[in-house]
Amino acid sequence: MRRDVGRRSTGDAWEEVAAVAPEFAVLTDGRRGEAFYDSGRETVHQILGDIARRGFSTRGLALDFGCGMGRLTLPLATRFERAIGVDHSPTMLRLARERARLVGCANVTFALSSGDRFPDVASASADFALSLLVFQHMPSDDAVHANIRELQRCLVPGGLAWLQFDTRPSSLAYWLWDRLERRLPSGLGPRTRRAPLRRYRRASPLIREWLVSSGFDVLRQSNPDTELHGYLLRRS
């Protein structure tokens, strides 16, 4: 198991990024403004369309874990009765609320997480959970596993989830950078290769083990062993 690199990716670190480049903290390809939010609508349409084609219905309350500025939460709110976005950055949540007011989205709320807990989300309350580009930024295996368990707690029995992980095999270059990066002074190296923006890879068998032990049935996988490995899950 990867050594816990602790506070390298804390809420404080994300707050610093959110204060100066909130869109970049979510999408590092340069999309901003309406293009940024358009990408969220396209992504939600693709994910929910794929789920529907497999015979599953999605309605009720949608939970967006690691919601950031609401890029995915707001499109979810147009497809569900209600949506709630959870994040550990107060700045991101403020921006998400401002965007919701701007577009007139009244059936969405945003809540602050506390470590690996979502205190404003009741147990067995969400019908669907979505997480994209979130788990890959967690340096701690324990944090990944704990947040998977928390998502399971929030879902109703039989509720669906679509979660993404980076499961690319570790290369020699990745292995070397993983050991070097934690020792470098702040500010050195490419911004996207430093915490909190850097990605952490985890083997797909390990992810599956955590999902199953947390009470999920794995219904389908897409893009296995890539940076966009998606899991369609159902709470047991």
Peptide bond connecting 90 to the previous residue in cis, omega within 30 degrees of 0: no
Q: What is the pTM of this model?
A: 0.92
The per-residue pLDDT for range 131-146, each reduced to its tens digit, is 999 999 999 999 999 9
pLDDT given for residue 185 in this prediction: 83
Percent of the chain whose predicted confidence (pLDDT) is above 70: 96
Domains and CATH numbers, the chain: 6-235 (3.40.50.150)
The per-residue pLDDT for range 22-42, each reduced to its tens digit, is 999 999 988 999 999 999 999
DSSP assignments along the chain, one per residue: -----GGGG-HHHHHHHHHH-HHHHH-TT---HHHHHHHHHHHHHHHHHHHHHTT----SEEEEET-TTTTTHHHHHHHSSEEEEEES-HHHHHHHHHHHHHHT--SEEEEE-BTTB-TTS-TT-EEEEEE-SSGGG---HHHHHHHHHHHHHHEEEEEEEEEEE--PPPPHHHHHHHHHHTTSPTT-S-GGGSTTT------HHHHHHHHHHTTEEEEEEESTTSTTEEEEEEE-
What is the pLDDT of the chain when averaged over all its residues? Answer: 93
The per-residue pLDDT for range 179-197, each reduced to its tens digit, is 888 888 877 888 888 888 9
Query: Which range has the worst mean pLDDT, 10-14, 38-42, 211-215?
Result: 10-14
216 vs 188 pLDDT, higher one: 216
pLDDT given for residue 7 in this prediction: 42
